[in-house]
Amino acid sequence: MTRVGIAAYGITPFSTDDNKIETELFKSVKNLFEKNPQINRDVIDTVLVSTNNNSKYLGPILAEMADIQPKTAHSIESLCNSGTNSIVSAYSYIASGLAEMVLVSGAERYDSPGQILEWDNSRGEFKHPIFWASIFSKSYKREFSISEEQLALVSVKNHRHAKENPNAISKKTYTIEDVINSKKLTEDLRLLDCSRPCTGSASILLASEKITKEFSEKPVWISGIGQKTTSAGFTKNISFNSMESSKIAGQTALNMANCGIDQIDVAEIHDAFSVCEPMALEALGFSKPGEGMKTIEELENTNEFKINPRGGLIGSGHPLGATGIAQTIEITQQLQSDANKRQVDNAKRGLVHNMSAAATSSTVLVLER
């Protein structure tokens, strides 16, 4: 089976712009082609759009805007996980031989309909994700005796990282006190514990081994893929302080990549809310149960391993359909030593963790240079 590589990417600043979805989508595609004039559009035979936007036929619309006449073009939606699901789908088109080169383009508007979980009646009146995040925070703090101040470090770190990411929506740094004193949304959640809905776009071009080597001087390969859906309603989670779907997806991805978690040099973790970062680190095996915050604290003074170097969702902003693609671009830049001040020393292998709706589904990718 052919290896699947990342031949190019494009990304533009996340914002609160009121762009039409087509306009926003096209921004990162334009950026991709401007940075990679060597790419031959005739080779692109699939266009996948990742979004929660209600507009229809965005695949063919984007293809027409980008002057591509692909075989396949459609949209993919799975809430926050849409971007990584689209990358896995692109991988399957190439690995199966149906496609040589796939453009995966994600975009969202700040007012995305994917932010309200209308469908989950188990949430009662609490259809906004902050309610599951509150329950997770309360449960996690209680189970592992973690304080509000400790959890606040996630937000402090990720806002600090985001300052070095020119595409991040946040430009400010905050102290632990700033987080604790920010607006109280629920008993267990402050405003600065939350990722911000925003407008954003990110695009990635995947290709077969041959084509990737032809178009990219520093190819990055997708060596591991893991996905798991445990349910849709979050009350079906077996626990509110662990992420079962992320655990299974992570193990599957590491098995496929034939490596251990200790061989990962840099990771993008889905931190929609502060508590998600330690919980995901534990699910993926970076930390023992309850020790995710300890890991984060220990990493504060090292440059050998970084979690969420681009600032995570909390610092970068969270344009749902674009998030998984932006995460994958960050790891690609790290492995290509193109991450500037965010650069991890000698990064050879990176991991992307993305998930939807209280980790009822997760996708994990392992990337290698």
Q: Which residues bind a copy of itself (CB under 8 A)?
A: 1, 22, 47, 52, 54-61, 63-64, 69-79, 81-82, 85, 88-89, 91-99, 113-114, 117-119, 225-233, 236, 249, 252, 356-357, 360-361
Q: Cβ distance 350 to 331 under 8 Å?
A: yes
Identity of the residue, 66 or 146, whose beta carbon is nearer to a copy of itself in the bound complex: 66
The set of residues, in sequence order, having a beta carbon less than 8 Å from that of 187 and lying 6+ positions away, is 134, 138
Rounded Cα gap, residues 255 and 249, in angstroms: 10
With respect to a copy of itself, which residue has the nearer C-beta, 307 or 364? 364
Which bin fits 340, alpha (ψ -120 to 50), beta or left (φ > 0)? left
**What is the closest distance, in whole angstroms, from the C-beta atom of residue 18 to a copy of itself in the complex?**
17
Of the two residues 175 and 239, which places its CB atom closer to a copy of itself in the complex? 239
Q: Whole-angstrom Cα distance, residue 365 to residue 275?
A: 21
What's the min distance (Å) between Cβ of 118 and a copy of itself? 7
Closer residue to a copy of itself, CB minimum distance, 146 or 364: 364
Q: Tell me the closest approach of the beta carbon of residue 178 to a copy of itself, in angstroms.
A: 33
* Comparison of 74 and 128: residue with beta carbon closer to a copy of itself: 74
Pull the structure tokens for residue 158: 């990720």
Least Cα distance to 183 among 194, 173, 168, 169 occurs for: 194
| Helix 276-284 / helix 148-162 crossing angle, nearest 10 deg | 90
The nearest distance, CB 303 to a copy of itself, in angstroms, is 34
Nearest approach, Cβ of residue 141 and a copy of itself (Å): 27
Nearest-angstrom CA–CA distance, 206 and 225: 14
Closest approach of a copy of itself to the CB of residue 127, in Å: 11
Instruction: Tell me if 168 sits within 8 A of 317, measured CB to CB.
Output: yes
Query: Would you say 36 or 235 has its CB closer to a copy of itself?
Result: 235
